[in-house]
Amino acid sequence: MKERFSGLDIPLITKELQNSITGYRLTNIYNIGDSTRQFLLKFNKPDSKFNVIVDCGFKIYVTQFTRPIPPQPSGFVVKLRKHLKSKRLTSVRQIGKDRIIVFTFSDGLYHLVFEFFSKGNVILLDSERKVLFTQRIVDDHECNVGDVYQLLSDIIIGKEETEDKKFTANVILSWIEDMELKLQKQQKASCDSKVKIPSIHKLLFLNAPYLSSELILKYLKLNHIEASDPCLKFKGDVEKLASVLNETEAEVKTLLTTNNDDFKGYIVCKKNPLFRQDVDSPELEYLYDRFEPFKPILRDEDTAENSIWKIEEVPGPYNMTVDKFFSTIESSRYELKIQQQEQHAAKVIENAKRANDTRIQKFVDNQKLSELKGSVIINNSDLVESCKGAVLSLVDQQMDWNAIEQLIKSEKAKKNPIAMLIKLPLDLKNNKINILLPNIDAESETELDSDTDDETLNKKDNASGSIEVNIDLELSAFANASRYFNIKKENRTKQSKIEKNQKMALKNIERKVTKDLHHKLKEQHDVLKRLRNPYFFEKYYWFISTEGYLVMMGKSDQETDQIYSKYITDEDIYITCNDVGSAKRAPQAFIINHTKDEAIPPNTLMQAGVLIISASDAWSKKVSGVASWWCKCKNISKFDPHDKNRVLESGSFSILNEGGKGYLAPVQMVMGLAFMWKVKTHESDGIYIKEEDGIQEADEEDKGTQDLHVAQEKEQINTNKHHAEELEEGKSFAGSDKPEIGEYKNNAYLPSPSKSDSTTLAATEVLELNKNVRGKRGKLKKIQKKYADQDEEEKMLRLDALGTLKGIAKEQEKMNDKLQREHKREMKKEVRSKKLQLQALRFTENEKVTVFYDKIFAELKPKLENPNDLENLESIIPVFAPWSALNKYKYKVKILPGTGKKLKSINEILSYFLKRKVDPNSTDKDVDWEKEHELIKQLKDTELLPLLCVDKIKINIPSANNGQKGNNGTGIGKNSKKNKKKK
> Do 239 and 299 sit in the same domain of this protein?
no
Which of 241, 257, 273 is the last residue before a domain boundary? 257
Residue 704 has pLDDT above 60, yes or no: no
Give the mean pLDDT of 948-970.
65
Residue 456 has pLDDT above 60, yes or no: no
Give the mean pLDDT of 427-438.
86
> Do 150 and 52 sit in the same domain of this protein?
yes
Residue 897's pLDDT band (cuts 50, 70, 90): very high
Q: What percent of the chain has pLDDT over 90?
A: 23
What are the φ/ψ torsions at residue 13 (nearest 5 degrees)?
-65, -40
The verdict on residue 400 lying in a domain is: yes
Contact predicate 10/255, CB 8 Å: no
pLDDT digits (tens, 9 = 90+) for 117-172: 888 889 999 988 899 989 887 766 667 788 888 777 654 444 444 455 678 888 88
Bridge partner list, 663: 629
Instruction: Sheet with 588-592: list strands edge to edge.
Output: 541-544, 550-553, 588-592, 573-577, 628-632, 662-664
Instruction: Return the SS3 of 662.
Output: strand
- Whole-number pLDDT of residue 545: 94
Residue 972 has pLDDT above 70, yes or no: no
- Whole-number pLDDT of residue 799: 72
Single out the residue of 215, 290, 221, 288 nearest to residue 256, CA to CA: 215
> Do 587 and 510 sit in the same domain of this protein?
no
- Per the structure, the count of domains in the chain is 5
Give the mean pLDDT of 74-99.
92
Q: Which of 145-154, 405-414, 715-724, 794-803 has the highest mean pLDDT?
A: 405-414
- Whole-number pLDDT of residue 125: 92
Single out the residue of 584, 619, 552 nearest to residue 950, CA to CA: 619
Which of 157, 189, 209 is the last residue before a domain boundary? 157
Instruction: Return the SS3 of 56.
Output: coil
Return the higher-pLDDT residue of 852 and 163: 852
Residue 343's pLDDT band (cuts 50, 70, 90): confident
- Whichever domain contains 94, its CATH number is 2.30.310.10
> Do 553 and 520 sit in the same domain of this protein?
no
Q: In terms of C-beta density within 10 A (0-12 exposed, 13-18 middle, 19 or more buried), how is residue 926 classed?
A: exposed
Return the higher-pLDDT residue of 688 and 302: 688
Lowest mean pLDDT among 456-460, 890-894, 922-926: 456-460
> Do 203 and 249 sit in the same domain of this protein?
yes
DSSP character at residue 753: P
Mean of per-residue pLDDT scores for the chain: 78
Domain that holds residue 272: 264-316
> Do 65 and 117 sit in the same domain of this protein?
yes
- Whole-number pLDDT of residue 674: 95
> Do 390 and 497 sit in the same domain of this protein?
yes
Residue 743's pLDDT band (cuts 50, 70, 90): very low
The verdict on residue 653 lying in a domain is: yes
The verdict on residue 830 lying in a domain is: no
Residue 583's pLDDT band (cuts 50, 70, 90): low
- Whole-number pLDDT of residue 157: 47
Residue 857 has pLDDT above 80, yes or no: yes
Q: For the chain, what percentages of helix, strand and coil (3-state, to nearest 5) are there?
A: 45, 20, 35
Single out the residue of 377, 428, 378, 380 nearest to residue 402, CA to CA: 428
- Whole-number pLDDT of residue 712: 41
Return the higher-pLDDT residue of 3 and 707: 3
Which of 531, 552, 579 is the last residue before a domain boundary? 531
Q: How many CB atoms lie within 10 A of CB 430?
A: 10
pLDDT digits (tens, 9 = 90+) for 481-500: 888 888 888 888 888 888 77
Residue 508 has pLDDT above 70, yes or no: yes
Q: What percent of the chain has pLDDT over 70?
A: 78
Residue 278 has pLDDT above 70, yes or no: no
- Whole-number pLDDT of residue 195: 76
Contact predicate 973/960, CB 8 Å: yes
Return the higher-pLDDT residue of 806 and 648: 648
Residue 966 has pLDDT above 60, yes or no: no
pLDDT digits (tens, 9 = 90+) for 642-659: 877 788 888 889 999 888
Residue 105's pLDDT band (cuts 50, 70, 90): very high
The verdict on residue 211 lying in a domain is: yes
User: What are the distances in angstroms from CA 897 to CA 587, 947, 949, 953, 954?
Assistant: 17, 16, 12, 5, 6
The verdict on residue 363 lying in a domain is: yes
DSSP character at residue 672: E
Residue 578's pLDDT band (cuts 50, 70, 90): confident
> Do 144 and 19 sit in the same domain of this protein?
yes
> Do 359 and 467 sit in the same domain of this protein?
yes
- Whole-number pLDDT of residue 902: 92
Residue 524's pLDDT band (cuts 50, 70, 90): very low
Residue 779's pLDDT band (cuts 50, 70, 90): low
> Do 599 and 546 sit in the same domain of this protein?
yes
> Do 929 and 858 sit in the same domain of this protein?
yes
Residue 300's pLDDT band (cuts 50, 70, 90): low
Give the mean pLDDT of 425-443.
78
User: What are the distances in angstroms from CA 108 to CA 78, 129, 818?
Assistant: 21, 9, 40
The verdict on residue 455 lying in a domain is: no
Contacts of 578 (CB under 8 A, 6+ apart): 586, 626, 627, 628, 629
Residue 103 has pLDDT above 60, yes or no: yes
Helices (H), 284-317: none
The verdict on residue 412 lying in a domain is: yes
Question: How many whole angstroms separate alpha carbon 37 and alpha carbon 378?
Answer: 82
Return the higher-pLDDT residue of 487 and 836: 487
Listed as own residue / partner, the contacts of 699-703 with beta carbons closer than 8 Å and 24 or more positions apart are 699/47, 699/48, 699/49, 699/533, 699/534, 699/536, 700/47, 700/48, 701/47, 701/536, 701/566, 701/849, 702/46, 702/47, 703/45, 703/47, 703/48
- Whole-number pLDDT of residue 519: 58
The verdict on residue 86 lying in a domain is: yes
> Do 15 and 129 sit in the same domain of this protein?
yes
Give the mean pLDDT of 436-462.
51
